[in-house]
Structure 1
Amino acid sequence: MPRPPLTPAEYWDLYKPYRGEGEQPAPEPGRFEWTQFPGHGPGPELLGRPRTVLELGSGEGVDAVHLARRGAQVTGVDFSAFQIERARRWWTNEPNVTFTQADVCDFLVTEATEYDAIYSMWGAVWFTDPEELLPLVAKRLAPGGVFVFSHAEPGPDAHGPQQMRGKWLEGRQRELTVLRWQYTPGRWGDLLKGSGFTEVDARIVAPPGDEPLGTLLVRAGIT
């Protein structure tokens, strides 16, 4: 009998954390990059110099730690219990950073903290309905705060919620059932402005060399 498709929780717990068998060393948090190409595109300067930061979809925590080492107080939220457990283990001695296991929308609804910056780097923004998420993010930004996110450049015929296809786990036993939301920069601008954001800059960062796929990069503020 065929095995059922992966649920989103199974996907994040089983696929994304995979780095090989056994305990793996913590990655080096020396870089903070919005694109998928090392050394290409802007870095943490898009966030300004925030005192408090929230990362949506923090994964293994390397980007949150990078910002914490720059002096920010950082909270990382991730859907995956596995990812959060590993991030806490790797970065247990790092000051100024905490990791919470939660659905990002649930977290934004239940936590009353305001943040100077909220960001998502190829993370939860890509995998959450923006019409639900964006108004919640706007409510958790302090006046003058910024919201920045990035993910892969959308394909010409892939707008709106798209089901991820393919077999991704080691051994190729299971398939995915995970949606990701892909829109043009213009559409993202409309969605953000409709949720109360101002000064929206949504664009495609062209890839280097002969790489075929660029990066959608969006920055918006709250006045």
Structure 2
Amino acid sequence: MTDTATAWNTYSSQRPERRPVNAAGSTTWFNWSQYPDHGPGPDLLDLRPGDRVLDLGCGKGGNAAHLALQGMTAVGVDISPVQLSAAEERWGGTPGLHLRQADAVTYLREDDEPFAAVYSVYGVVWFSDPAVTLPAIRERLRPGGVLAFSQRPAVEGCYGCQASYIPRGEDEDPLVVKRWDYEPESWERLLKKHGYTDVRATVLDAPPGKRKVGALIVQARA
């Protein structure tokens, strides 16, 4: 299996930078799906100014920076130094934003401060074993705290641990990482099994005119 940091460093080099402003003219915003200016915002996290929030697999930091500028203490964790370098370049110095290079589960187990919310946008919850990750997140959420995550919906009949491929050069084999795909009902059962309540899992349709898949969005409370 591909080294995780190497895989996400490679992925980072293939991703475009976040736009300077969104359709509303804002310089920061929260995005759950793969489509710009589409879907719900940070209200899914039920945060208040001053709350502590954790982004698992923060990538280049845009979502975490938005929450920090809304008055939250936002911690972004990513295993890729390339991703975090890009985040520091654009968002470094943002009040309330703290970026950490670490394996997500290791970070969850070693830090002991609680969070009001933990989220993952096409990130760690998709690319780590839920039997390990979900209990680790729950231990770090304060009572009533929110876990929310998004990922591509599962392909019918392809459930559980799957191979995900990150392309490289023409003469190189793609890098391989694991991901975990489930239908909404299966995610609901998994979360309840690990002690979460108020679980909701739905698929957000793609924007009109797009013949592409939507985004699975899951929300639960500790």
* Fold match (TM-score > 0.5): yes
Letter of the 1:82 counterpart:
V
1:46 aligns with 2:38: no
Aligned to 2:204: 205
Provide the C-alpha distance between the structure 2 equivalents of 1:26 and 1:9, rounded to a whole number of angstroms.
25
Shift of the alpha carbon at 1:60?
0.7
- Calculate the TM-score normalised by the size of structure 2: 0.89
Aligned to 2:5: 9
Provide the C-alpha distance between the structure 1 equivalents of 2:138 and 2:183, rounded to a whole number of angstroms.
20
Provide the C-alpha distance between the structure 2 equivalents of 1:33 and 1:113, rounded to a whole number of angstroms.
26
User: Between Structure 1 and Structure 2, how many residues are aligned?
Assistant: 214
Aligned to 2:99: 99
RMSD: 2.0
Map 1:165-204 to 2 at 5 A. Answer: 165=165, 168-171=167-170, 173-204=172-203
Provide the C-alpha distance between the structure 1 equivalents of 2:170 and 2:177, rounded to a whole number of angstroms.
19
Provide the C-alpha distance between the structure 2 equivalents of 1:69 and 1:171, rounded to a whole number of angstroms.
41
Provide the C-alpha distance between the structure 1 equivalents of 2:218 and 2:92, rounded to a whole number of angstroms.
31
For 2:176, what is the secondary structure of its paired residue?
Answer: coil
Q: Which has the larger displacement, 150-159 or 169-178? A: 169-178
Structure 1 contact 75–97 (Cα < 8 Å) conserved: yes
For 2:28, what is the secondary structure of its paired residue?
Answer: coil
For 1:177, what is the secondary structure of its paired residue?
Answer: strand
- Calculate the TM-score normalised by the size of structure 1: 0.89
Provide the C-alpha distance between the structure 2 equivalents of 1:150 and 1:182, rounded to a whole number of angstroms.
11
Identical-residue share of aligned pairs (%): 37
Provide the C-alpha distance between the structure 2 equivalents of 1:70 and 1:170, rounded to a whole number of angstroms.
40
For 2:173, what is the secondary structure of its paired residue?
Answer: coil
List 4+ stretches of structure 1 deviating above 6 A.
Answer: none
Structure 2 unaligned residues grouped into runs of 5+: 22-26
Shift of the alpha carbon at 1:93?
1.8
Provide the C-alpha distance between the structure 2 equivalents of 1:66 and 1:93, rounded to a whole number of angstroms.
13
Structure 1 contact 6–174 (Cα < 8 Å) conserved: no
Shift of the alpha carbon at 1:171?
4.6
